[in-house]
Chains A and B, each alone.
Chain A
Amino acid sequence: MKAVKDSAAGSLESSDVLVTVIPSDGREVSLSVDSIVFKQYGARIRSVAEEMIDKSGLSGASVMIQDRGALECTLRARLETAIERSAAEK
Protein backbone atom coordinates (compact mmCIF):
# COMPACT_ATOMS: atom_id res chain seq x y z
CA MET A 1 0.00 0.00 0.00
CA LYS A 2 1.82 3.05 -1.28
CA ALA A 3 1.17 6.45 0.26
CA VAL A 4 -0.22 8.66 -2.50
CA LYS A 5 -1.32 11.84 -0.78
CA ASP A 6 -0.63 14.01 2.24
CA SER A 7 -2.93 13.25 5.12
CA ALA A 8 -3.34 14.10 8.77
CA ALA A 9 -5.50 12.73 11.57
CA GLY A 10 -5.99 13.71 15.19
CA SER A 11 -5.16 17.06 16.74
CA LEU A 12 -2.72 18.93 18.93
CA GLU A 13 -5.22 19.16 21.74
CA SER A 14 -4.32 17.85 25.14
CA SER A 15 -4.63 14.02 25.38
CA ASP A 16 -4.69 13.68 21.60
CA VAL A 17 -2.04 13.09 18.95
CA LEU A 18 -1.58 14.49 15.45
CA VAL A 19 -0.39 11.92 12.90
CA THR A 20 0.75 13.15 9.48
CA VAL A 21 1.59 10.90 6.54
CA ILE A 22 3.43 12.36 3.57
CA PRO A 23 4.36 10.32 0.49
CA SER A 24 8.08 10.03 -0.25
CA ASP A 25 10.23 8.43 -2.94
CA GLY A 26 11.24 4.80 -2.68
CA ARG A 27 9.64 2.16 -0.49
CA GLU A 28 10.99 3.14 2.89
CA VAL A 29 8.87 4.54 5.69
CA SER A 30 10.54 7.09 7.92
CA LEU A 31 9.08 7.83 11.33
CA SER A 32 9.53 10.82 13.59
CA VAL A 33 8.10 10.97 17.08
CA ASP A 34 7.63 14.06 19.16
CA SER A 35 5.85 13.78 22.51
CA ILE A 36 5.33 15.75 25.69
CA VAL A 37 5.89 12.45 27.50
CA PHE A 38 8.76 11.31 25.32
CA LYS A 39 10.94 10.24 28.23
CA GLN A 40 8.40 7.81 29.61
CA TYR A 41 6.57 6.74 26.45
CA GLY A 42 8.72 7.66 23.43
CA ALA A 43 9.88 4.09 22.85
CA ARG A 44 6.37 2.69 23.31
CA ILE A 45 4.87 5.21 20.86
CA ARG A 46 7.51 4.31 18.33
CA SER A 47 6.96 0.57 18.65
CA VAL A 48 3.15 0.94 18.35
CA ALA A 49 3.64 3.09 15.27
CA GLU A 50 6.08 0.65 13.69
CA GLU A 51 3.72 -2.23 14.37
CA MET A 52 0.74 -0.40 12.79
CA ILE A 53 2.81 0.66 9.80
CA ASP A 54 4.02 -2.91 9.26
CA LYS A 55 0.52 -4.32 9.60
CA SER A 56 -0.92 -1.83 7.11
CA GLY A 57 1.80 -2.61 4.57
CA LEU A 58 2.36 1.15 4.06
CA SER A 59 5.38 2.02 1.91
CA GLY A 60 7.02 5.14 0.54
CA ALA A 61 6.02 7.56 3.26
CA SER A 62 7.24 9.79 6.00
CA VAL A 63 5.14 9.51 9.15
CA MET A 64 5.22 12.25 11.74
CA ILE A 65 3.75 11.83 15.21
CA GLN A 66 3.14 14.79 17.50
CA ASP A 67 1.83 13.38 20.73
CA ARG A 68 0.12 15.45 23.38
CA GLY A 69 -0.28 12.66 25.87
CA ALA A 70 -2.76 10.46 23.98
CA LEU A 71 -3.84 7.06 25.25
CA GLU A 72 -2.55 4.11 23.23
CA CYS A 73 -6.00 3.37 21.77
CA THR A 74 -6.19 7.00 20.56
CA LEU A 75 -2.74 6.73 19.00
CA ARG A 76 -3.75 3.53 17.20
CA ALA A 77 -6.97 5.07 15.90
CA ARG A 78 -5.18 8.19 14.62
CA LEU A 79 -2.46 6.13 12.93
CA GLU A 80 -5.02 3.90 11.26
CA THR A 81 -7.02 6.87 9.93
CA ALA A 82 -3.99 8.82 8.69
CA ILE A 83 -2.50 5.79 6.92
CA GLU A 84 -5.86 4.87 5.33
CA ARG A 85 -6.43 8.43 4.09
CA SER A 86 -2.94 8.69 2.71
CA ALA A 87 -3.25 5.49 0.70
CA ALA A 88 -6.88 5.94 -0.35
CA GLU A 89 -7.48 6.26 -4.06
CA LYS A 90 -9.33 9.37 -4.98
Chain B
Amino acid sequence: MEERVLVTKRDMAERAELLRSRGLAEPGGEDLVLGFFSDEKLVATGALVGNILQGIAVDREIEGEGAAAVVASALVKKAVERGIRRIFIYSKPEEARRFQDLGFTLLASVSVESSGLGASLLEWGSEGINAWKKNTAVIAENKPPMAGSVVVNCNPFTLGHRRLIEYASGNSKWLYIFVVQEDRSLFPFDVRFRLVSEGTADLPNVTVVPGGPYVISSATFPTYFTRIQAGDNSGKITELYAALDLEMFRKHVVPILNIGTRFVGTEPYCPVTSVYNEMMKRILPVPEEDCRAIDVVEIPRFLEEGVPVSASRVRDLIRENMMNEVENLVPEVTWKWLNSEDAVPVLEKIRKSNSRH
Protein backbone atom coordinates (compact mmCIF):
# COMPACT_ATOMS: atom_id res chain seq x y z
CA MET B 1 0.00 0.00 0.00
CA GLU B 2 1.20 3.46 -0.86
CA GLU B 3 0.77 6.08 1.85
CA ARG B 4 -0.28 9.61 0.90
CA VAL B 5 -1.52 12.68 2.72
CA LEU B 6 -5.02 13.44 1.43
CA VAL B 7 -5.76 17.04 0.48
CA THR B 8 -7.60 17.29 -2.82
CA LYS B 9 -11.37 17.39 -2.97
CA ARG B 10 -11.39 14.23 -5.04
CA ASP B 11 -9.31 12.32 -2.47
CA MET B 12 -11.46 13.58 0.37
CA ALA B 13 -14.64 12.52 -1.40
CA GLU B 14 -13.22 9.05 -1.91
CA ARG B 15 -12.29 8.95 1.75
CA ALA B 16 -15.77 10.04 2.84
CA GLU B 17 -17.18 7.23 0.74
CA LEU B 18 -14.84 4.67 2.34
CA LEU B 19 -15.78 5.90 5.82
CA ARG B 20 -19.45 5.73 4.95
CA SER B 21 -19.12 2.19 3.62
CA ARG B 22 -17.83 1.21 7.07
CA GLY B 23 -20.55 3.05 8.94
CA LEU B 24 -18.34 5.94 10.05
CA ALA B 25 -18.80 9.70 9.78
CA GLU B 26 -16.03 12.18 9.04
CA PRO B 27 -14.76 13.21 12.47
CA GLY B 28 -14.25 16.91 11.62
CA GLY B 29 -11.40 19.12 12.77
CA GLU B 30 -8.77 16.89 11.15
CA ASP B 31 -5.17 18.09 11.31
CA LEU B 32 -3.97 15.40 8.96
CA VAL B 33 -5.69 12.79 6.82
CA LEU B 34 -3.75 9.81 5.47
CA GLY B 35 -4.82 7.59 2.62
CA PHE B 36 -3.43 4.22 1.62
CA PHE B 37 -3.66 3.22 -2.00
CA SER B 38 -3.42 -0.05 -3.79
CA ASP B 39 -3.37 0.22 -7.60
CA GLU B 40 -4.50 3.84 -7.27
CA LYS B 41 -7.57 2.81 -5.31
CA LEU B 42 -8.05 4.13 -1.79
CA VAL B 43 -8.21 1.07 0.46
CA ALA B 44 -7.54 2.46 3.93
CA THR B 45 -7.63 5.82 5.71
CA GLY B 46 -7.08 7.40 9.08
CA ALA B 47 -6.87 10.92 10.50
CA LEU B 48 -5.18 12.85 13.24
CA VAL B 49 -7.50 15.20 15.15
CA GLY B 50 -5.33 16.96 17.71
CA ASN B 51 -3.87 14.08 19.72
CA ILE B 52 -6.58 11.63 18.72
CA LEU B 53 -6.52 9.08 15.92
CA GLN B 54 -9.95 9.04 14.35
CA GLY B 55 -11.75 8.03 11.20
CA ILE B 56 -9.81 4.83 10.67
CA ALA B 57 -11.38 2.65 8.02
CA VAL B 58 -10.22 -0.24 5.91
CA ASP B 59 -11.85 -1.44 2.71
CA ARG B 60 -13.76 -4.69 3.21
CA GLU B 61 -11.70 -6.41 0.54
CA ILE B 62 -8.43 -6.15 2.45
CA GLU B 63 -9.86 -6.45 5.94
CA GLY B 64 -7.94 -8.80 8.21
CA GLU B 65 -4.65 -8.31 6.38
CA GLY B 66 -3.16 -6.02 8.96
CA ALA B 67 -4.14 -2.79 7.21
CA ALA B 68 -5.44 -1.26 10.43
CA ALA B 69 -1.99 -1.75 11.95
CA VAL B 70 -0.42 0.07 9.02
CA VAL B 71 -2.83 2.99 9.40
CA ALA B 72 -2.47 3.19 13.19
CA SER B 73 1.32 3.09 13.17
CA ALA B 74 1.59 5.63 10.35
CA LEU B 75 -0.63 8.00 12.36
CA VAL B 76 1.27 7.36 15.59
CA LYS B 77 4.54 8.19 13.85
CA LYS B 78 3.10 11.40 12.40
CA ALA B 79 1.85 12.37 15.85
CA VAL B 80 5.23 11.64 17.46
CA GLU B 81 6.96 13.73 14.79
CA ARG B 82 4.64 16.58 15.76
CA GLY B 83 5.75 16.28 19.35
CA ILE B 84 2.48 14.80 20.60
CA ARG B 85 3.18 12.65 23.66
CA ARG B 86 -0.23 11.35 24.63
CA ILE B 87 -2.01 9.73 21.76
CA PHE B 88 -5.57 8.48 21.97
CA ILE B 89 -7.75 6.52 19.64
CA TYR B 90 -11.50 6.12 19.34
CA SER B 91 -12.97 2.93 18.02
CA LYS B 92 -16.22 1.07 17.99
CA PRO B 93 -16.40 -1.07 21.15
CA GLU B 94 -16.41 -4.26 19.11
CA GLU B 95 -13.14 -3.22 17.45
CA ALA B 96 -11.28 -2.10 20.59
CA ARG B 97 -9.63 -5.51 20.90
CA ARG B 98 -7.90 -5.03 17.56
CA PHE B 99 -6.18 -1.87 18.80
CA GLN B 100 -5.37 -3.41 22.17
CA ASP B 101 -3.49 -6.07 20.24
CA LEU B 102 -1.49 -3.26 18.61
CA GLY B 103 -0.26 -1.98 21.96
CA PHE B 104 -3.03 0.47 22.83
CA THR B 105 -4.47 0.41 26.35
CA LEU B 106 -8.27 0.36 26.69
CA LEU B 107 -9.37 3.21 28.98
CA ALA B 108 -13.15 3.03 28.72
CA SER B 109 -15.97 1.59 26.63
CA VAL B 110 -19.53 2.84 26.62
CA SER B 111 -22.72 2.29 24.75
CA VAL B 112 -25.75 4.51 25.10
CA GLU B 113 -28.91 2.48 24.98
CA SER B 114 -31.27 5.23 23.86
CA SER B 115 -29.28 6.05 20.72
CA GLY B 116 -27.57 2.73 20.06
CA LEU B 117 -24.22 4.55 19.74
CA GLY B 118 -21.08 3.18 21.33
CA ALA B 119 -17.42 4.16 21.60
CA SER B 120 -14.18 3.00 23.14
CA LEU B 121 -11.31 5.23 24.12
CA LEU B 122 -7.82 3.79 24.02
CA GLU B 123 -4.45 5.27 24.74
CA TRP B 124 -1.21 4.53 22.96
CA GLY B 125 1.23 2.64 25.17
CA SER B 126 0.60 1.75 28.77
CA GLU B 127 2.55 4.42 30.63
CA GLY B 128 0.06 7.30 30.55
CA ILE B 129 -2.87 6.31 32.73
CA ASN B 130 -0.74 4.32 35.16
CA ALA B 131 1.72 7.15 35.69
CA TRP B 132 -1.20 9.54 36.18
CA LYS B 133 -2.81 7.23 38.73
CA LYS B 134 0.44 6.89 40.64
CA ASN B 135 0.91 10.66 40.83
CA THR B 136 -2.72 11.27 41.70
CA ALA B 137 -2.83 8.63 44.44
CA VAL B 138 -0.31 10.72 46.40
CA ILE B 139 -2.95 13.46 46.75
CA ALA B 140 -5.27 11.06 48.57
CA GLU B 141 -2.77 10.01 51.23
CA ASN B 142 -4.14 10.60 54.74
CA LYS B 143 -7.44 11.93 53.39
CA PRO B 144 -10.80 10.59 54.60
CA PRO B 145 -12.59 8.00 52.44
CA MET B 146 -15.82 8.64 50.49
CA ALA B 147 -14.76 12.16 49.63
CA GLY B 148 -16.82 14.64 47.65
CA SER B 149 -15.83 15.91 44.22
CA VAL B 150 -16.66 18.68 41.78
CA VAL B 151 -15.37 19.22 38.27
CA VAL B 152 -15.25 22.82 37.15
CA ASN B 153 -13.88 24.76 34.21
CA CYS B 154 -14.24 28.16 35.95
CA ASN B 155 -13.93 30.24 32.84
CA PRO B 156 -13.74 32.43 34.95
CA PHE B 157 -14.31 31.57 38.64
CA THR B 158 -17.71 33.07 39.67
CA LEU B 159 -19.82 33.30 42.81
CA GLY B 160 -21.84 30.42 41.35
CA HIS B 161 -18.77 28.17 41.52
CA ARG B 162 -17.92 29.49 44.96
CA ARG B 163 -21.42 28.64 46.27
CA LEU B 164 -21.33 25.16 44.77
CA ILE B 165 -17.90 24.52 46.30
CA GLU B 166 -18.95 25.93 49.69
CA TYR B 167 -21.98 23.65 49.72
CA ALA B 168 -19.96 20.61 48.65
CA SER B 169 -17.22 21.35 51.18
CA GLY B 170 -19.80 21.71 53.96
CA ASN B 171 -21.36 18.38 53.05
CA SER B 172 -18.18 16.32 52.60
CA LYS B 173 -15.41 15.13 54.88
CA TRP B 174 -13.01 16.10 52.12
CA LEU B 175 -13.59 17.75 48.74
CA TYR B 176 -11.54 17.39 45.55
CA ILE B 177 -12.01 20.23 43.10
CA PHE B 178 -10.93 19.23 39.59
CA VAL B 179 -10.18 22.14 37.30
CA VAL B 180 -10.44 21.27 33.60
CA GLN B 181 -6.90 21.46 32.32
CA GLU B 182 -7.42 21.58 28.58
CA ASP B 183 -6.30 25.01 27.44
CA ARG B 184 -9.12 25.71 25.05
CA SER B 185 -11.04 28.22 27.11
CA LEU B 186 -10.77 32.00 26.94
CA PHE B 187 -9.24 32.12 30.41
CA PRO B 188 -5.98 30.15 30.39
CA PHE B 189 -5.64 27.11 32.65
CA ASP B 190 -3.01 28.56 34.97
CA VAL B 191 -5.25 31.58 35.68
CA ARG B 192 -8.37 29.44 36.21
CA PHE B 193 -6.45 27.11 38.50
CA ARG B 194 -4.93 29.94 40.52
CA LEU B 195 -8.21 31.79 40.99
CA VAL B 196 -9.94 28.62 42.23
CA SER B 197 -7.03 27.81 44.56
CA GLU B 198 -6.91 31.32 46.04
CA GLY B 199 -10.68 31.65 46.08
CA THR B 200 -11.12 28.46 48.13
CA ALA B 201 -8.04 28.77 50.36
CA ASP B 202 -10.30 29.62 53.34
CA LEU B 203 -12.04 26.22 53.17
CA PRO B 204 -10.26 23.75 55.47
CA ASN B 205 -11.12 20.50 53.67
CA VAL B 206 -10.53 21.04 49.96
CA THR B 207 -7.78 20.07 47.51
CA VAL B 208 -7.69 21.70 44.08
CA VAL B 209 -6.50 19.21 41.47
CA PRO B 210 -5.52 19.80 37.81
CA GLY B 211 -7.96 17.77 35.72
CA GLY B 212 -5.17 16.37 33.56
CA PRO B 213 -5.85 14.40 30.40
CA TYR B 214 -8.48 12.10 31.88
CA VAL B 215 -11.07 14.45 33.43
CA ILE B 216 -13.09 16.39 30.82
CA SER B 217 -10.31 16.65 28.26
CA SER B 218 -10.33 16.79 24.47
CA ALA B 219 -9.83 13.02 24.58
CA THR B 220 -12.61 12.13 27.04
CA PHE B 221 -15.13 14.78 25.98
CA PRO B 222 -14.22 16.47 22.68
CA THR B 223 -17.61 18.05 22.12
CA TYR B 224 -17.34 19.94 25.40
CA PHE B 225 -14.89 22.28 23.71
CA THR B 226 -16.82 22.93 20.54
CA ARG B 227 -20.19 24.42 19.79
CA ILE B 228 -22.95 21.93 19.33
CA GLN B 229 -23.63 22.01 15.65
CA ALA B 230 -27.10 22.40 14.37
CA GLY B 231 -27.99 18.97 13.14
CA ASP B 232 -29.84 15.88 14.06
CA ASN B 233 -27.06 13.78 15.49
CA SER B 234 -25.12 16.22 17.65
CA GLY B 235 -27.24 15.70 20.77
CA LYS B 236 -26.70 11.95 20.59
CA ILE B 237 -22.98 12.40 20.06
CA THR B 238 -22.75 14.72 23.07
CA GLU B 239 -24.53 12.06 25.11
CA LEU B 240 -22.04 9.48 23.93
CA TYR B 241 -18.99 11.55 24.88
CA ALA B 242 -20.56 12.59 28.18
CA ALA B 243 -21.04 8.90 28.96
CA LEU B 244 -17.43 8.23 28.01
CA ASP B 245 -16.11 10.99 30.28
CA LEU B 246 -18.26 9.77 33.19
CA GLU B 247 -17.10 6.21 32.62
CA MET B 248 -13.49 7.44 32.79
CA PHE B 249 -14.32 9.27 36.01
CA ARG B 250 -15.84 6.35 37.82
CA LYS B 251 -13.43 3.76 36.51
CA HIS B 252 -10.15 5.62 37.01
CA VAL B 253 -10.62 8.70 39.20
CA VAL B 254 -13.11 7.47 41.80
CA PRO B 255 -11.07 4.48 43.08
CA ILE B 256 -7.77 6.40 43.18
CA LEU B 257 -9.13 9.23 45.33
CA ASN B 258 -11.82 7.21 47.10
CA ILE B 259 -14.71 9.42 45.99
CA GLY B 260 -18.28 8.82 47.15
CA THR B 261 -20.16 11.85 45.89
CA ARG B 262 -20.10 14.20 42.94
CA PHE B 263 -21.65 17.65 43.31
CA VAL B 264 -22.92 19.63 40.37
CA GLY B 265 -24.82 22.86 39.82
CA THR B 266 -27.96 22.94 37.67
CA GLU B 267 -27.16 24.24 34.22
CA PRO B 268 -29.49 26.94 32.94
CA TYR B 269 -27.68 28.00 29.75
CA CYS B 270 -25.28 25.58 28.15
CA PRO B 271 -26.91 22.67 26.29
CA VAL B 272 -23.74 20.54 26.39
CA THR B 273 -23.34 20.85 30.15
CA SER B 274 -27.00 20.20 30.71
CA VAL B 275 -26.82 16.96 28.68
CA TYR B 276 -23.72 16.08 30.70
CA ASN B 277 -25.54 16.61 34.00
CA GLU B 278 -28.45 14.44 32.86
CA MET B 279 -26.07 11.63 31.88
CA MET B 280 -24.28 12.01 35.22
CA LYS B 281 -27.50 11.43 37.14
CA ARG B 282 -28.26 8.45 34.93
CA ILE B 283 -24.82 6.79 35.04
CA LEU B 284 -22.93 7.47 38.28
CA PRO B 285 -25.49 6.26 40.87
CA VAL B 286 -25.79 2.85 39.19
CA PRO B 287 -23.09 0.45 40.41
CA GLU B 288 -21.42 -1.89 37.93
CA GLU B 289 -19.17 -4.86 38.42
CA ASP B 290 -15.95 -2.95 38.97
CA CYS B 291 -17.46 0.48 39.74
CA ARG B 292 -19.13 1.50 42.96
CA ALA B 293 -22.26 3.68 43.01
CA ILE B 294 -21.51 7.38 43.31
CA ASP B 295 -24.07 9.78 44.74
CA VAL B 296 -24.85 12.72 42.50
CA VAL B 297 -25.98 15.85 44.34
CA GLU B 298 -27.33 18.55 42.06
CA ILE B 299 -27.86 21.90 43.69
CA PRO B 300 -29.74 24.84 42.17
CA ARG B 301 -27.56 27.40 40.48
CA PHE B 302 -26.87 30.42 42.64
CA LEU B 303 -29.07 33.38 41.66
CA GLU B 304 -28.14 37.03 41.74
CA GLU B 305 -31.28 39.19 41.64
CA GLY B 306 -33.21 36.24 40.27
CA VAL B 307 -30.79 35.51 37.43
CA PRO B 308 -28.53 32.43 37.49
CA VAL B 309 -24.84 33.25 37.88
CA SER B 310 -22.71 31.51 35.30
CA ALA B 311 -19.32 32.01 33.72
CA SER B 312 -20.90 32.39 30.30
CA ARG B 313 -22.99 35.29 31.61
CA VAL B 314 -19.84 36.88 33.03
CA ARG B 315 -18.15 36.55 29.65
CA ASP B 316 -21.20 38.07 27.94
CA LEU B 317 -21.09 41.03 30.30
CA ILE B 318 -17.38 41.48 29.63
CA ARG B 319 -18.11 41.37 25.91
CA GLU B 320 -20.77 44.06 26.35
CA ASN B 321 -18.38 46.07 28.52
CA MET B 322 -20.67 46.04 31.56
CA MET B 323 -17.89 45.58 34.07
CA ASN B 324 -19.79 47.03 37.02
CA GLU B 325 -22.27 44.17 36.72
CA VAL B 326 -19.46 41.64 36.52
CA GLU B 327 -18.29 42.77 39.94
CA ASN B 328 -21.53 41.46 41.51
CA LEU B 329 -21.10 38.00 40.04
CA VAL B 330 -17.50 37.09 40.83
CA PRO B 331 -15.50 36.59 44.06
CA GLU B 332 -13.02 39.26 45.01
CA VAL B 333 -10.05 37.22 43.80
CA THR B 334 -11.50 37.06 40.28
CA TRP B 335 -12.46 40.74 40.30
CA LYS B 336 -8.94 41.70 41.31
CA TRP B 337 -7.47 39.59 38.56
CA LEU B 338 -9.85 41.03 35.96
CA ASN B 339 -8.54 44.47 36.86
CA SER B 340 -4.91 43.45 36.67
CA GLU B 341 -2.44 43.99 33.87
CA ASP B 342 -2.45 40.24 33.08
CA ALA B 343 -6.15 40.33 32.24
CA VAL B 344 -5.86 42.87 29.42
CA PRO B 345 -5.14 40.41 26.57
CA VAL B 346 -7.75 37.94 27.87
CA LEU B 347 -10.47 40.60 28.06
CA GLU B 348 -9.49 41.75 24.59
CA LYS B 349 -9.86 38.18 23.30
CA ILE B 350 -13.29 37.79 24.92
CA ARG B 351 -14.53 41.00 23.34
CA LYS B 352 -13.46 39.81 19.92
CA SER B 353 -14.68 36.24 20.15
CA ASN B 354 -18.03 34.60 20.26
CA SER B 355 -16.65 31.23 21.32
CA ARG B 356 -18.74 29.09 23.61
CA HIS B 357 -15.66 28.88 25.83
Contact = CB atoms under 8 A, between A and B. Distances in A.
Interface of A: 5-8, 10-14, 16, 18, 20, 22, 32, 34, 36, 64, 66, 68
B127 A8 contact: no
A66 B72 contact: no
Interface residues of B, number: 18
B73 A18 contact: yes
Interface stretch (B74-82, B204-212, B264-272): B74-82
21 contacts: A5-B83, A6-B83, A7-B80, A7-B81, A11-B69, A11-B70, A11-B73, A12-B103, A13-B66, A13-B69, A13-B70, A14-B66, A14-B69, A18-B73, A18-B76, A18-B77, A22-B85, A34-B103, A34-B125, A36-B101, A66-B103
A72 B225 CA distance: 45
| Residue from the set B70, B73, B101 with the largest chain A CB neighbour count within 10 Å | B73
B126 interface: yes
Nearest to A20: B80
Contacts of A5: 83
Interface string B62-99: 00001001101110110011010100000000000000
A18 B73 CA distance: 8
A8 to B, nearest CB: 4
B346 interface: no
Nearest to B101: A36
B102 interface: yes
Nearest to B82: A6
